[in-house]
Structure 1
Amino acid sequence: MVLFADYNNPYLFALSFVLLIGIVEIISLVCGHLLSGALDAHLEGYDALHSGNIGQALHYLHIGRIPALIVLCLLAGWFGLFGILAQHVWVTFWQAPLSNLLLAPVSVILSVFAVHYTGKAIAPWLPVDSSTAIGEDEFIGRMAIVTGHSAVSGTPCEGKFTDKFGQIHYLLLEPEAGKAFKKDDKVLIICRLSATRYLAELNPWPNIL
């Protein structure tokens, strides 16, 4: 089997995706952001993702217990490994590659099962942000910085603040009706609307804070 043969392209692309995400996460960390935290914050803002069949599927993949970005990388990694190994075995015994129209869906299914059991194994070892600093209900009354481009009522954007322990928290912020936020606005968190979605107002004391 030739690793870089055309029939391995989908699986090499998946492994390359994992490598790319790792590089981007390192760069974002150096820049003071956390890509995985931002993705989790956005997912938590959609209540439809936490109910019904979609909610059950995400629960099976341990999204909520481990960062969604890690789940995505695990899916891509297992998909790539299963596909390349299957093609290697097939070419070794039959001297021809297996059709990816058949192999790719099978690899996806196997990857889902692999992620479930891998996630179950690694979840206890991953740090949980809220357990090392303050609870989410304590976000109320904090000053945050808007890091997204803009937000209006019903359409939140990303924001962040640093607690007294030095830990950065990412959440979704939206203003009251008729108002808007733009990037780098400093806002006061007023109340909690959902898991990571909060109502906020522009800093009422700009000359002080």
Structure 2
Amino acid sequence: MTVIELFLAPENIAFSVALGLVIAIGVLEGIGAVVGFALSGLLDSIFPEADIDLDAGDVGDSGAFGEFLSWLRFREVPVIVIMIAFLTAFGLTGIVFQGVLAAILGSTVNGFVASISSLLICLPVVRFFAGVLAKIMPKDETSAVKTDSFVGHSAKVVLGTMGRGNPAQIKLADQFGQDHYFMAEPDMDDASFNQGDDVIIVRKEQALFYVIANTKEFMTDD
């Protein structure tokens, strides 16, 4: 079995897709750097839904899923790093596993069996990698900031036209100077905002922020 045949085999599609997604993420990040859209910042604002207080070891109210994300060291390093590490480890582990079996036995195993085996191997690898990275990254890049603390801060609409029921992306900087990207809607039913408009975050409901127009007398950022 050639390398191409190995990647295109039906039982290996999950691994090929995972590696393809790594390439796609790299392309999107490159395009985002040009047009002002940050996929990594948006992912950081979504996962995990409940803010994790790393110093206290608290995983909020997100239950088992939150505990799993905490175990994978979400919020200790950027979410995009965890995602790329997982997809790469999962894809490579599965392809290598299937390739070794094909070379020794002359055939591969069922895709579901191979995927479960790869998950069991790659998850501890991802956790170990994230732990090492968290120790060597600058402190201001790994400090977890509770997103509820952004209420009252000014932000800028960076992508899309915002209306009630039609969220757009906003950007703001935390106290460490790190940019964060969130989806937001106007707090008022009849309000709308365009790309480049300055707004004030007035409340948050789950992963969505609600904003009002930012005027000079309401500026809150230093």
Q: Tell whether the structures are fold-level matches, with TM greater than 0.5.
A: yes
Which residue, 21, 24, 28 being the options, matches 1:17?
Answer: 21
Q: Which amino acid aligns with 2:164?
A: V
> Cα distance, 1:33 vs. partner?
2.6
Structural mapping, 1:105-120, within 5 Å: 105-120=116-131
Q: Judging changes above 3 Å, is the alpha-carbon distance between structure 1 residues 179 and 108 closer, same or farther for their aligned structure 2 residues?
A: farther
What is the TM-score of this pair, normalised by structure 2?
A: 0.72
State the match for 2:159 in structure 1: 147
State the match for 1:92 in structure 2: 103
Q: Is 1:103 paired with 2:107?
A: no
Which residue, 33, 43, 47 being the options, matches 1:29?
Answer: 33
Structural mapping, 1:162-201, within 5 Å: 168-184=179-195, 186-191=197-202, 193=204, 198-201=209-212
> Cα distance, 1:144 vs. partner?
1.9
Distance in structure 1 (CA, Å) of the matches to 2:16 and 2:208: 37
Structural mapping, 1:29-68, within 5 Å: 29-43=33-47, 46-47=49-50, 51-68=62-79
Instruction: Give the secondary-structure state (helix, strand or coil) at the position aligned to 1:4.
Output: helix
Residues 113-141 of structure 1 show CA distances to partners (whole Å, capped at 9, x for unaligned) of 2211111111233354586xxx9857735
Instruction: Give the secondary-structure state (helix, strand or coil) at the position aligned to 2:128.
Output: helix
Instruction: Give the secondary-structure state (helix, strand or coil) at the position aligned to 1:188.
Output: strand
> Cα distance, 1:92 vs. partner?
2.1
> Cα distance, 1:149 vs. partner?
4.1
Q: Which amino acid aligns with 2:162?
A: S
For the Cα contact (< 8 Å) 1:140–1:189, is it kept in 2? yes
Distance in structure 2 (CA, Å) of the matches to 1:101 and 1:163: 42
> Cα distance, 1:103 vs. partner?
0.8
Instruction: Give the secondary-structure state (helix, strand or coil) at the position aligned to 2:170.
Output: strand
Q: Judging changes above 3 Å, is the alpha-carbon distance between structure 1 residues 52 and 40 closer, same or farther for their aligned structure 2 residues?
A: same
State the match for 2:55 in structure 1: none
For the Cα contact (< 8 Å) 2:19–2:91, is it kept in 1? yes
Q: Which amino acid aligns with 2:159?
A: T
Structure 2, gaps ≥5 residues long: 52-58, 217-222
Which residue, 159, 169, 190 being the options, matches 1:158?
Answer: 169
Q: Which amino acid aligns with 1:112?
A: L
Q: Judging changes above 3 Å, is the alpha-carbon distance between structure 1 residues 143 and 58 closer, same or farther for their aligned structure 2 residues?
A: closer
Q: Judging changes above 3 Å, is the alpha-carbon distance between structure 1 residues 80 and 190 closer, same or farther for their aligned structure 2 residues?
A: closer
Q: How many residues align?
A: 200
What fraction of aligned residue pairs are identical, expressed as a percent?
25
